[in-house]
A and B are shown apart, each in its own frame.
Chain A
Amino acid sequence: MRREPAHGLAQHLPVIFPGLMLTVFFIVPFGTMVLVSFFRRQQGGFYVPDFVLANYARFLTPFFGNVLAFSLYLAIAVAVVSLIVAVPFTYLIARSRRQTQVIWLVALLSILSLSEVIIGFAWSTLLSRTAGITNLLVRVGLMDAPKALVPGFGAVLTGMVYQAMPYAVLVLYPSMVRLDPTLTEAARTLGASPLKAFFTVVLPALRTTLIATLIMAFIFALGSYLLPQILGRPSHWTLSVLITDQALYQSNMPFAAAMAVFLVLVSLALVTLTMFVGKKLEA
Protein backbone atom coordinates (compact mmCIF):
# COMPACT_ATOMS: atom_id res chain seq x y z
CA MET A 1 0.00 0.00 0.00
CA ARG A 2 1.78 3.12 -1.16
CA ARG A 3 1.45 6.45 0.58
CA GLU A 4 -1.30 8.51 -0.98
CA PRO A 5 -2.67 11.97 -0.34
CA ALA A 6 -5.83 11.97 1.78
CA HIS A 7 -9.10 12.83 0.07
CA GLY A 8 -12.41 13.75 1.63
CA LEU A 9 -13.47 13.91 5.23
CA ALA A 10 -13.35 10.17 5.88
CA GLN A 11 -9.68 9.89 5.04
CA HIS A 12 -8.82 12.91 7.16
CA LEU A 13 -10.75 11.53 10.12
CA PRO A 14 -7.75 9.99 11.97
CA VAL A 15 -5.87 13.26 12.13
CA ILE A 16 -8.79 15.30 13.47
CA PHE A 17 -8.73 14.13 17.09
CA PRO A 18 -4.94 14.43 17.58
CA GLY A 19 -4.89 17.75 15.75
CA LEU A 20 -7.70 19.13 17.84
CA MET A 21 -6.20 17.95 21.13
CA LEU A 22 -2.78 19.40 20.36
CA THR A 23 -4.24 22.68 19.17
CA VAL A 24 -6.67 23.17 22.04
CA PHE A 25 -4.39 21.90 24.80
CA PHE A 26 -0.97 22.98 23.65
CA ILE A 27 -1.27 25.96 21.27
CA VAL A 28 -4.08 27.63 23.23
CA PRO A 29 -2.47 27.31 26.71
CA PHE A 30 0.83 28.45 25.30
CA GLY A 31 -0.88 31.41 23.61
CA THR A 32 -2.74 32.23 26.82
CA MET A 33 0.55 32.31 28.66
CA VAL A 34 2.12 34.65 26.10
CA LEU A 35 -0.93 36.94 26.31
CA VAL A 36 -0.89 36.97 30.11
CA SER A 37 2.75 38.02 30.03
CA PHE A 38 1.59 41.37 28.63
CA PHE A 39 -1.30 41.74 31.09
CA ARG A 40 -1.30 44.02 34.07
CA ARG A 41 -1.27 42.52 37.53
CA GLN A 42 -4.11 43.52 39.79
CA GLN A 43 -3.63 43.75 43.54
CA GLY A 44 -5.41 40.86 45.22
CA GLY A 45 -4.15 38.15 42.97
CA PHE A 46 -5.62 38.29 39.50
CA TYR A 47 -4.72 40.15 36.33
CA VAL A 48 -6.50 42.37 33.85
CA PRO A 49 -6.10 42.34 30.06
CA ASP A 50 -3.76 45.08 28.95
CA PHE A 51 -0.63 45.55 26.92
CA VAL A 52 2.24 46.51 29.16
CA LEU A 53 5.92 45.70 28.95
CA ALA A 54 6.48 46.22 32.66
CA ASN A 55 6.69 42.47 33.29
CA TYR A 56 9.58 42.23 30.87
CA ALA A 57 11.21 45.39 32.19
CA ARG A 58 11.59 43.67 35.57
CA PHE A 59 14.25 41.43 34.04
CA LEU A 60 16.62 44.37 34.27
CA THR A 61 16.72 44.31 38.08
CA PRO A 62 19.93 42.98 39.69
CA PHE A 63 17.99 40.27 41.54
CA PHE A 64 16.58 38.83 38.34
CA GLY A 65 19.92 39.21 36.58
CA ASN A 66 21.59 37.19 39.35
CA VAL A 67 19.04 34.40 39.17
CA LEU A 68 19.33 34.22 35.38
CA ALA A 69 23.13 34.24 35.51
CA PHE A 70 23.14 31.50 38.14
CA SER A 71 20.63 29.38 36.16
CA LEU A 72 22.79 29.61 33.05
CA TYR A 73 25.99 28.94 34.97
CA LEU A 74 24.48 25.90 36.70
CA ALA A 75 23.09 24.54 33.42
CA ILE A 76 26.46 24.91 31.69
CA ALA A 77 28.26 23.19 34.59
CA VAL A 78 25.75 20.33 34.61
CA ALA A 79 25.93 19.89 30.83
CA VAL A 80 29.74 19.84 30.74
CA VAL A 81 30.17 17.46 33.69
CA SER A 82 27.42 15.12 32.38
CA LEU A 83 29.06 14.98 28.97
CA ILE A 84 32.51 14.28 30.41
CA VAL A 85 31.10 11.40 32.47
CA ALA A 86 28.70 10.12 29.80
CA VAL A 87 30.94 10.00 26.72
CA PRO A 88 33.44 7.32 27.84
CA PHE A 89 30.64 5.50 29.64
CA THR A 90 28.41 5.32 26.55
CA TYR A 91 31.38 4.33 24.41
CA LEU A 92 32.10 1.42 26.74
CA ILE A 93 28.52 0.15 26.91
CA ALA A 94 28.02 0.54 23.16
CA ARG A 95 30.95 -1.83 22.66
CA SER A 96 29.79 -4.39 25.20
CA ARG A 97 27.63 -7.44 24.56
CA ARG A 98 23.99 -6.86 23.68
CA GLN A 99 22.81 -8.49 26.92
CA THR A 100 24.98 -6.11 28.96
CA GLN A 101 23.72 -3.15 26.93
CA VAL A 102 20.12 -4.05 27.76
CA ILE A 103 20.84 -4.16 31.50
CA TRP A 104 22.53 -0.74 31.43
CA LEU A 105 19.72 0.70 29.31
CA VAL A 106 17.07 -0.52 31.75
CA ALA A 107 19.01 1.01 34.64
CA LEU A 108 19.47 4.32 32.82
CA LEU A 109 15.84 4.54 31.73
CA SER A 110 14.74 3.80 35.29
CA ILE A 111 16.88 6.62 36.66
CA LEU A 112 15.84 8.94 33.84
CA SER A 113 12.18 8.55 34.67
CA LEU A 114 12.62 8.82 38.42
CA SER A 115 10.89 11.77 39.96
CA GLU A 116 13.09 14.79 40.70
CA VAL A 117 11.61 14.61 44.20
CA ILE A 118 12.92 11.11 44.70
CA ILE A 119 16.34 11.88 43.25
CA GLY A 120 16.52 14.92 45.51
CA PHE A 121 15.46 12.96 48.56
CA ALA A 122 17.89 10.13 47.78
CA TRP A 123 20.85 12.47 47.39
CA SER A 124 19.95 14.53 50.43
CA THR A 125 20.00 11.26 52.39
CA LEU A 126 23.28 10.15 50.84
CA LEU A 127 24.91 13.49 51.62
CA SER A 128 23.38 13.89 55.08
CA ARG A 129 25.29 13.70 58.34
CA THR A 130 23.37 10.83 59.93
CA ALA A 131 22.95 8.42 57.01
CA GLY A 132 25.39 9.78 54.50
CA ILE A 133 28.55 8.86 52.71
CA THR A 134 30.76 10.64 55.24
CA ASN A 135 29.92 7.91 57.78
CA LEU A 136 31.62 5.49 55.45
CA LEU A 137 34.68 7.75 55.18
CA VAL A 138 34.85 8.00 58.97
CA ARG A 139 34.70 4.22 59.28
CA VAL A 140 37.63 3.67 56.93
CA GLY A 141 39.54 6.42 58.72
CA LEU A 142 39.60 9.11 56.05
CA MET A 143 37.59 11.58 58.12
CA ASP A 144 37.30 12.42 61.80
CA ALA A 145 33.58 13.03 62.12
CA PRO A 146 30.58 12.67 59.80
CA LYS A 147 29.55 15.91 58.17
CA ALA A 148 26.55 17.20 56.23
CA LEU A 149 27.35 17.92 52.59
CA VAL A 150 23.89 19.26 51.94
CA PRO A 151 22.69 21.97 51.27
CA GLY A 152 25.36 23.36 49.00
CA PHE A 153 26.37 23.99 45.42
CA GLY A 154 28.24 20.69 45.21
CA ALA A 155 25.11 18.82 46.25
CA VAL A 156 22.98 20.62 43.65
CA LEU A 157 25.54 19.92 40.94
CA THR A 158 25.84 16.23 41.90
CA GLY A 159 22.09 15.71 41.98
CA MET A 160 21.60 17.42 38.66
CA VAL A 161 24.41 15.54 36.94
CA TYR A 162 22.83 12.36 38.29
CA GLN A 163 19.57 13.40 36.67
CA ALA A 164 21.05 14.62 33.37
CA MET A 165 23.65 11.89 32.84
CA PRO A 166 21.22 9.12 31.75
CA TYR A 167 19.66 11.61 29.37
CA ALA A 168 23.05 12.41 27.82
CA VAL A 169 23.87 8.70 27.53
CA LEU A 170 20.62 7.95 25.71
CA VAL A 171 21.22 10.78 23.22
CA LEU A 172 24.79 9.60 22.60
CA TYR A 173 23.94 5.91 22.47
CA PRO A 174 22.55 5.60 18.89
CA SER A 175 25.57 7.28 17.27
CA MET A 176 28.00 5.39 19.48
CA VAL A 177 26.43 2.05 18.56
CA ARG A 178 26.38 2.88 14.88
CA LEU A 179 29.97 4.04 14.91
CA ASP A 180 31.91 1.89 12.47
CA PRO A 181 34.25 -0.33 14.58
CA THR A 182 36.70 -0.57 11.66
CA LEU A 183 37.53 3.10 12.27
CA THR A 184 39.17 2.41 15.61
CA GLU A 185 40.58 -0.87 14.36
CA ALA A 186 42.35 0.99 11.58
CA ALA A 187 43.74 3.48 14.08
CA ARG A 188 44.96 0.64 16.29
CA THR A 189 46.58 -1.15 13.36
CA LEU A 190 48.43 2.03 12.55
CA GLY A 191 49.84 1.99 16.06
CA ALA A 192 47.56 4.30 18.06
CA SER A 193 46.90 3.42 21.71
CA PRO A 194 43.22 2.78 22.62
CA LEU A 195 43.11 6.11 24.40
CA LYS A 196 44.66 7.92 21.47
CA ALA A 197 42.27 6.20 19.06
CA PHE A 198 39.37 7.33 21.26
CA PHE A 199 40.50 10.95 21.25
CA THR A 200 41.69 11.23 17.66
CA VAL A 201 39.17 9.01 15.85
CA VAL A 202 36.03 8.40 17.93
CA LEU A 203 35.46 11.88 19.35
CA PRO A 204 36.05 13.82 16.08
CA ALA A 205 33.74 11.41 14.23
CA LEU A 206 31.00 12.18 16.76
CA ARG A 207 31.44 15.93 17.16
CA THR A 208 27.96 16.79 15.88
CA THR A 209 26.35 14.39 18.34
CA LEU A 210 28.56 15.66 21.14
CA ILE A 211 27.49 19.26 20.60
CA ALA A 212 23.83 18.25 20.29
CA THR A 213 24.10 16.30 23.56
CA LEU A 214 25.77 19.19 25.32
CA ILE A 215 23.03 21.63 24.34
CA MET A 216 20.23 19.17 25.11
CA ALA A 217 21.69 18.51 28.56
CA PHE A 218 21.94 22.28 28.99
CA ILE A 219 18.24 22.84 28.17
CA PHE A 220 17.33 19.91 30.41
CA ALA A 221 19.29 21.41 33.31
CA LEU A 222 17.85 24.86 32.65
CA GLY A 223 14.39 23.47 33.44
CA SER A 224 15.36 21.93 36.77
CA TYR A 225 13.01 22.92 39.51
CA LEU A 226 13.08 20.70 42.57
CA LEU A 227 16.73 19.75 42.98
CA PRO A 228 17.98 23.31 43.62
CA GLN A 229 15.28 23.62 46.29
CA ILE A 230 15.95 20.28 47.97
CA LEU A 231 19.76 20.21 47.72
CA GLY A 232 20.63 23.91 47.66
CA ARG A 233 20.20 27.17 49.50
CA PRO A 234 17.94 29.98 48.28
CA SER A 235 20.97 31.45 46.51
CA HIS A 236 21.00 28.30 44.33
CA TRP A 237 17.44 28.68 43.13
CA THR A 238 16.91 28.74 39.39
CA LEU A 239 14.60 30.56 37.00
CA SER A 240 12.08 27.68 37.13
CA VAL A 241 11.83 28.04 40.90
CA LEU A 242 11.32 31.76 40.54
CA ILE A 243 8.60 31.27 37.90
CA THR A 244 6.68 28.84 40.09
CA ASP A 245 7.13 31.05 43.12
CA GLN A 246 5.76 34.09 41.30
CA ALA A 247 2.85 32.16 39.81
CA LEU A 248 1.68 30.27 42.87
CA TYR A 249 2.86 32.10 45.97
CA GLN A 250 3.21 35.72 44.89
CA SER A 251 0.12 35.43 42.66
CA ASN A 252 1.93 37.42 39.98
CA MET A 253 0.96 35.47 36.89
CA PRO A 254 1.92 38.14 34.36
CA PHE A 255 5.50 38.30 35.66
CA ALA A 256 5.73 34.50 35.86
CA ALA A 257 4.44 34.25 32.28
CA ALA A 258 6.94 36.84 31.06
CA MET A 259 9.78 34.86 32.63
CA ALA A 260 8.45 31.66 31.06
CA VAL A 261 8.29 33.30 27.61
CA PHE A 262 11.86 34.47 28.13
CA LEU A 263 12.92 30.92 29.07
CA VAL A 264 11.28 29.58 25.89
CA LEU A 265 13.15 32.15 23.80
CA VAL A 266 16.46 31.16 25.39
CA SER A 267 15.73 27.45 24.80
CA LEU A 268 14.63 28.03 21.19
CA ALA A 269 17.70 30.13 20.48
CA LEU A 270 19.84 27.26 21.76
CA VAL A 271 17.99 24.63 19.71
CA THR A 272 18.45 26.77 16.61
CA LEU A 273 22.11 27.17 17.46
CA THR A 274 22.46 23.38 17.80
CA MET A 275 20.95 22.80 14.38
CA PHE A 276 23.10 25.52 12.88
CA VAL A 277 26.30 24.13 14.37
CA GLY A 278 25.26 20.62 13.34
CA LYS A 279 24.75 21.71 9.73
CA LYS A 280 27.99 23.60 9.69
CA LEU A 281 29.96 20.64 10.99
CA GLU A 282 28.39 18.27 8.50
CA ALA A 283 29.15 20.55 5.59
Chain B
Amino acid sequence: MERFLSRLYLALVGIFLAAPIVVVTGVSFNEKQNLAFPPQGFSFHWFAEIFVNPEWFRALVASVLLAITSAALAVAIALPLAWFLWRRVAPWARVFQLLGVAPFTLPPVITALGFLTFWATSGFYGQPWTAVIAHAIFFVTLPLVTLTLGFSSIDRSLTEAAATMGADDRTVFRTVVLPLILPYVVSGYAFAFVLSLNEYIVAYMTIGFVQETLPIKVFNALRYGYTPTMAAVSVLFVAVTATVFGLIARFGDLPKLMGAMSSKD
Protein backbone atom coordinates (compact mmCIF):
# COMPACT_ATOMS: atom_id res chain seq x y z
CA MET B 1 0.00 0.00 0.00
CA GLU B 2 2.74 2.40 1.04
CA ARG B 3 4.73 1.40 -2.00
CA PHE B 4 1.71 1.80 -4.25
CA LEU B 5 0.93 5.28 -2.95
CA SER B 6 4.46 6.56 -3.43
CA ARG B 7 4.57 5.09 -6.95
CA LEU B 8 1.23 6.73 -7.69
CA TYR B 9 2.47 10.09 -6.48
CA LEU B 10 5.66 9.89 -8.55
CA ALA B 11 3.60 8.86 -11.58
CA LEU B 12 1.21 11.79 -11.17
CA VAL B 13 4.03 14.32 -10.92
CA GLY B 14 5.69 12.58 -13.85
CA ILE B 15 2.53 13.04 -15.94
CA PHE B 16 2.33 16.70 -14.90
CA LEU B 17 5.94 17.19 -15.99
CA ALA B 18 5.60 15.25 -19.25
CA ALA B 19 2.11 16.30 -20.42
CA PRO B 20 2.95 19.64 -22.08
CA ILE B 21 5.93 18.10 -23.84
CA VAL B 22 3.88 15.15 -25.07
CA VAL B 23 1.18 17.42 -26.49
CA VAL B 24 3.67 19.73 -28.18
CA THR B 25 5.46 16.75 -29.69
CA GLY B 26 2.14 15.50 -31.04
CA VAL B 27 1.31 18.89 -32.51
CA SER B 28 4.71 19.16 -34.17
CA PHE B 29 3.97 16.09 -36.32
CA ASN B 30 0.63 17.44 -37.59
CA GLU B 31 0.27 17.28 -41.33
CA LYS B 32 -1.74 20.48 -41.76
CA GLN B 33 -0.99 23.87 -40.35
CA ASN B 34 -3.35 23.69 -37.40
CA LEU B 35 -3.22 23.16 -33.71
CA ALA B 36 -4.57 19.66 -33.16
CA PHE B 37 -3.95 16.85 -30.73
CA PRO B 38 -3.87 13.92 -31.28
CA PRO B 39 -2.05 14.84 -34.52
CA GLN B 40 -3.91 14.53 -37.82
CA GLY B 41 -1.65 12.73 -40.25
CA PHE B 42 2.08 12.49 -39.76
CA SER B 43 4.77 14.70 -41.19
CA PHE B 44 8.32 15.85 -40.56
CA HIS B 45 7.53 18.96 -42.54
CA TRP B 46 7.66 21.37 -39.57
CA PHE B 47 11.05 20.09 -38.47
CA ALA B 48 12.41 20.59 -41.97
CA GLU B 49 10.93 24.08 -41.91
CA ILE B 50 13.39 25.12 -39.13
CA PHE B 51 16.29 24.43 -41.49
CA VAL B 52 14.69 25.38 -44.79
CA ASN B 53 12.88 28.58 -43.87
CA PRO B 54 15.58 31.28 -43.86
CA GLU B 55 13.98 33.21 -40.97
CA TRP B 56 13.85 30.21 -38.63
CA PHE B 57 17.27 29.04 -39.73
CA ARG B 58 18.80 32.46 -39.08
CA ALA B 59 17.31 32.43 -35.58
CA LEU B 60 18.67 28.93 -35.00
CA VAL B 61 22.18 29.96 -36.07
CA ALA B 62 22.04 33.12 -33.95
CA SER B 63 20.97 31.12 -30.88
CA VAL B 64 23.59 28.42 -31.28
CA LEU B 65 26.40 30.94 -31.90
CA LEU B 66 25.33 32.97 -28.88
CA ALA B 67 25.24 29.87 -26.66
CA ILE B 68 28.62 28.54 -27.84
CA THR B 69 30.47 31.83 -27.38
CA SER B 70 28.79 33.05 -24.19
CA ALA B 71 29.27 29.70 -22.43
CA ALA B 72 32.96 29.75 -23.41
CA LEU B 73 33.35 33.26 -22.04
CA ALA B 74 31.53 32.29 -18.84
CA VAL B 75 33.96 29.40 -18.30
CA ALA B 76 36.91 31.69 -19.13
CA ILE B 77 35.76 34.01 -16.33
CA ALA B 78 34.90 31.28 -13.84
CA LEU B 79 37.90 28.96 -14.21
CA PRO B 80 40.74 31.35 -13.19
CA LEU B 81 38.57 32.82 -10.44
CA ALA B 82 37.65 29.42 -8.97
CA TRP B 83 41.29 28.29 -9.23
CA PHE B 84 42.54 31.43 -7.52
CA LEU B 85 40.04 31.07 -4.69
CA TRP B 86 41.14 27.48 -4.20
CA ARG B 87 44.88 28.07 -4.52
CA ARG B 88 45.33 31.34 -2.61
CA VAL B 89 44.36 32.69 0.76
CA ALA B 90 42.59 35.83 -0.39
CA PRO B 91 39.42 36.73 1.52
CA TRP B 92 38.97 39.90 -0.57
CA ALA B 93 38.57 37.78 -3.70
CA ARG B 94 35.33 36.37 -2.21
CA VAL B 95 33.74 39.61 -3.36
CA PHE B 96 34.11 38.43 -6.95
CA GLN B 97 32.60 35.09 -6.06
CA LEU B 98 29.60 36.91 -4.65
CA LEU B 99 29.41 39.06 -7.80
CA GLY B 100 29.49 35.92 -9.91
CA VAL B 101 26.50 34.46 -8.09
CA ALA B 102 24.48 37.69 -7.88
CA PRO B 103 23.06 37.97 -11.44
CA PHE B 104 21.59 34.50 -11.24
CA THR B 105 19.89 35.04 -7.88
CA LEU B 106 18.24 38.33 -8.80
CA PRO B 107 15.14 38.40 -11.02
CA PRO B 108 16.44 38.19 -14.64
CA VAL B 109 14.72 41.41 -15.65
CA ILE B 110 17.21 43.29 -13.42
CA THR B 111 20.26 42.00 -15.29
CA ALA B 112 18.46 42.58 -18.57
CA LEU B 113 17.58 46.18 -17.76
CA GLY B 114 21.07 46.82 -16.35
CA PHE B 115 22.59 45.74 -19.65
CA LEU B 116 20.04 47.69 -21.66
CA THR B 117 20.89 50.95 -19.88
CA PHE B 118 24.61 50.13 -20.03
CA TRP B 119 24.76 49.37 -23.75
CA ALA B 120 22.45 52.27 -24.59
CA THR B 121 24.61 54.67 -22.57
CA SER B 122 27.90 53.39 -23.98
CA GLY B 123 26.53 53.46 -27.53
CA PHE B 124 26.97 49.79 -28.37
CA TYR B 125 23.27 48.89 -28.18
CA GLY B 126 22.29 46.28 -30.76
CA GLN B 127 25.75 44.87 -31.52
CA PRO B 128 25.58 41.03 -31.56
CA TRP B 129 28.56 40.67 -29.19
CA THR B 130 26.80 42.66 -26.47
CA ALA B 131 24.47 39.70 -25.97
CA VAL B 132 27.47 37.36 -25.71
CA ILE B 133 28.90 39.37 -22.82
CA ALA B 134 25.47 39.76 -21.22
CA HIS B 135 24.80 36.01 -21.29
CA ALA B 136 28.32 35.18 -20.09
CA ILE B 137 27.89 37.41 -17.03
CA PHE B 138 24.31 36.26 -16.45
CA PHE B 139 25.26 32.57 -16.53
CA VAL B 140 28.79 32.74 -15.04
CA THR B 141 27.21 31.45 -11.81
CA LEU B 142 26.84 27.95 -13.26
CA PRO B 143 30.49 27.20 -14.19
CA LEU B 144 31.55 29.06 -11.04
CA VAL B 145 29.46 26.78 -8.83
CA THR B 146 30.42 23.54 -10.59
CA LEU B 147 34.12 24.53 -10.64
CA THR B 148 34.17 25.58 -6.98
CA LEU B 149 32.66 22.20 -6.17
CA GLY B 150 35.22 20.51 -8.42
CA PHE B 151 38.21 22.22 -6.83
CA SER B 152 36.97 21.44 -3.34
CA SER B 153 36.89 17.74 -4.25
CA ILE B 154 40.59 17.71 -5.25
CA ASP B 155 42.83 16.05 -2.71
CA ARG B 156 45.45 18.67 -1.83
CA SER B 157 48.05 16.03 -1.01
CA LEU B 158 48.17 15.23 -4.74
CA THR B 159 49.25 18.74 -5.69
CA GLU B 160 51.55 18.85 -2.68
CA ALA B 161 53.26 15.68 -3.83
CA ALA B 162 53.74 17.15 -7.29
CA ALA B 163 55.20 20.34 -5.81
CA THR B 164 57.57 18.34 -3.59
CA MET B 165 58.83 16.54 -6.67
CA GLY B 166 59.77 19.94 -8.08
CA ALA B 167 56.84 20.84 -10.30
CA ASP B 168 56.09 24.57 -10.49
CA ASP B 169 52.57 26.00 -10.28
CA ARG B 170 52.02 25.88 -14.02
CA THR B 171 53.12 22.26 -14.34
CA VAL B 172 50.98 21.22 -11.38
CA PHE B 173 47.98 22.92 -12.93
CA ARG B 174 48.50 21.33 -16.34
CA THR B 175 49.35 17.78 -15.20
CA VAL B 176 47.38 17.34 -11.97
CA VAL B 177 44.67 19.94 -11.50
CA LEU B 178 43.37 20.28 -15.06
CA PRO B 179 42.67 16.56 -15.66
CA LEU B 180 40.85 16.37 -12.33
CA ILE B 181 38.81 19.51 -12.94
CA LEU B 182 37.97 18.82 -16.59
CA PRO B 183 34.61 17.05 -15.95
CA TYR B 184 33.50 20.10 -13.95
CA VAL B 185 34.63 22.46 -16.73
CA VAL B 186 32.58 20.44 -19.22
CA SER B 187 29.46 20.34 -17.06
CA GLY B 188 29.78 24.05 -16.22
CA TYR B 189 30.03 24.80 -19.93
CA ALA B 190 27.08 22.55 -20.71
CA PHE B 191 24.88 24.21 -18.09
CA ALA B 192 25.72 27.69 -19.38
CA PHE B 193 25.26 26.55 -23.00
CA VAL B 194 21.82 25.06 -22.47
CA LEU B 195 20.54 27.98 -20.41
CA SER B 196 21.85 30.52 -22.90
CA LEU B 197 20.13 28.62 -25.71
CA ASN B 198 16.82 28.92 -23.87
CA GLU B 199 17.17 32.42 -22.46
CA TYR B 200 14.71 35.08 -23.54
CA ILE B 201 14.65 38.35 -21.65
CA VAL B 202 18.34 39.28 -21.47
CA ALA B 203 18.75 38.47 -25.16
CA TYR B 204 15.59 40.38 -25.98
CA MET B 205 16.66 43.51 -24.12
CA THR B 206 20.16 43.54 -25.59
CA ILE B 207 19.71 42.52 -29.23
CA GLY B 208 15.97 41.84 -29.54
CA PHE B 209 15.26 44.65 -31.97
CA VAL B 210 18.16 43.79 -34.25
CA GLN B 211 18.40 40.04 -34.23
CA GLU B 212 16.09 37.16 -33.34
CA THR B 213 17.28 34.20 -31.29
CA LEU B 214 15.03 31.12 -31.32
CA PRO B 215 13.19 31.90 -28.06
CA ILE B 216 12.57 35.46 -29.31
CA LYS B 217 11.40 34.12 -32.66
CA VAL B 218 9.02 31.66 -30.99
CA PHE B 219 7.54 34.39 -28.82
CA ASN B 220 7.10 36.73 -31.77
CA ALA B 221 5.47 33.92 -33.75
CA LEU B 222 3.20 33.22 -30.78
CA ARG B 223 2.05 36.84 -30.80
CA TYR B 224 1.16 36.96 -34.45
CA GLY B 225 -0.58 33.66 -34.87
CA TYR B 226 0.39 30.07 -34.89
CA THR B 227 2.62 27.74 -36.86
CA PRO B 228 3.53 24.12 -36.00
CA THR B 229 7.19 25.13 -36.55
CA MET B 230 7.03 26.56 -33.03
CA ALA B 231 6.15 23.11 -31.73
CA ALA B 232 8.96 21.57 -33.78
CA VAL B 233 11.45 24.09 -32.34
CA SER B 234 10.24 23.29 -28.82
CA VAL B 235 10.70 19.57 -29.40
CA LEU B 236 14.18 20.21 -30.79
CA PHE B 237 15.10 22.25 -27.71
CA VAL B 238 13.77 19.68 -25.26
CA ALA B 239 15.72 17.00 -27.12
CA VAL B 240 18.98 19.00 -27.10
CA THR B 241 18.59 19.93 -23.44
CA ALA B 242 17.80 16.37 -22.31
CA THR B 243 20.70 15.02 -24.40
CA VAL B 244 23.19 17.46 -22.85
CA PHE B 245 22.11 16.60 -19.29
CA GLY B 246 21.98 12.91 -20.17
CA LEU B 247 25.61 13.17 -21.32
CA ILE B 248 26.61 14.97 -18.10
CA ALA B 249 24.95 12.17 -16.15
CA ARG B 250 26.64 9.55 -18.31
CA PHE B 251 30.16 10.96 -17.98
CA GLY B 252 29.93 12.73 -14.66
CA ASP B 253 28.36 12.00 -11.33
CA LEU B 254 25.10 13.94 -11.55
CA PRO B 255 23.78 13.34 -8.00
CA LYS B 256 27.16 14.46 -6.66
CA LEU B 257 27.14 17.51 -8.91
CA MET B 258 23.70 18.38 -7.61
CA GLY B 259 25.03 18.34 -4.06
CA ALA B 260 24.35 14.84 -2.81
CA MET B 261 27.04 12.94 -0.98
CA SER B 262 29.48 10.88 -2.99
CA SER B 263 28.33 7.60 -4.46
CA LYS B 264 26.77 5.32 -1.89
CA ASP B 265 26.86 2.12 -3.92
Contacts and interface: CB of A to CB of B under 8 A. Distances in A.
Chain B contact surface mostly: helix
B218 A118 contact: yes
Chain A contact surface mostly: helix
B12 to A, nearest CB: 9
A14 interface: yes
| Interface size class, chain B | 35 or more
Interface in A99-135: 101-102, 105-111, 113-126, 128, 130-133, 135
Contacts of A263: 107, 109-110
Interface in A141-165: 162, 165
Contacts of A9: none
Contact of A174 (B80, B249, B260, B263): B260
B27 interface: yes
A113 B244 CA distance: 11
Given A14-B84, A264-B106, A89 B162 contact: no
Contact of A110 (B108, B118, B219, B242): B242
Contacts, number: 271
Given A11-B88, A29-B118, A113 B241 contact: yes
Contacts of B233: 118
A264 B102 CA distance: 11
| Interface size class, chain A | 35 or more
A140 to B, nearest CB: 14
Nearest to B208: A248
A2 B160 contact: yes
Interface string B109-124: 1111111111011000
Contacts of B102: 26
B96 to A, nearest CB: 5
A131 B121 CA distance: 46
Given A22-B77, A253-B117, A226 B24 contact: no
Contacts of A116: 200, 215
A243 B114 CA distance: 12
A4 B163 CA distance: 13
B81 interface: yes
Residue with the highest number of chain B CB atoms closer than 10 Å, among A15, A110, A223 = A110
Nearest to B115: A29
12 contacts: A18-B84, A22-B96, A105-B255, A113-B195, A117-B200, A117-B222, A118-B237, A120-B222, A122-B23, A162-B17, A170-B258, A267-B105
Given A17-B77, A89-B9, 5 more contacts: A22-B140, A113-B198, A121-B24, A165-B17, A253-B120
Interface of B: 2, 6, 9-10, 13, 16-17, 19-21, 23-24, 26-27, 34-37, 76-78, 80-81, 83-84, 86-90, 93, 96, 99-100, 102-103, 105-118, 120-121, 133-134, 136-137, 140, 156, 159-160, 162-163, 172, 191, 194-195, 198-201, 204-205, 208, 214-216, 218-219, 222, 230-231, 233-234, 237-238, 241-242, 245-246, 249, 254-255, 258-261, 263-265
Interface of A: 1-6, 11, 14-15, 17-19, 21-23, 25-30, 32-33, 36, 85, 88-89, 92-93, 98, 101-102, 105-111, 113-126, 128, 130-133, 135, 162, 165-166, 170, 173-174, 177-178, 194, 219, 222-223, 225-226, 230, 240, 243-244, 247-248, 253, 256-257, 260, 263-264, 267, 271
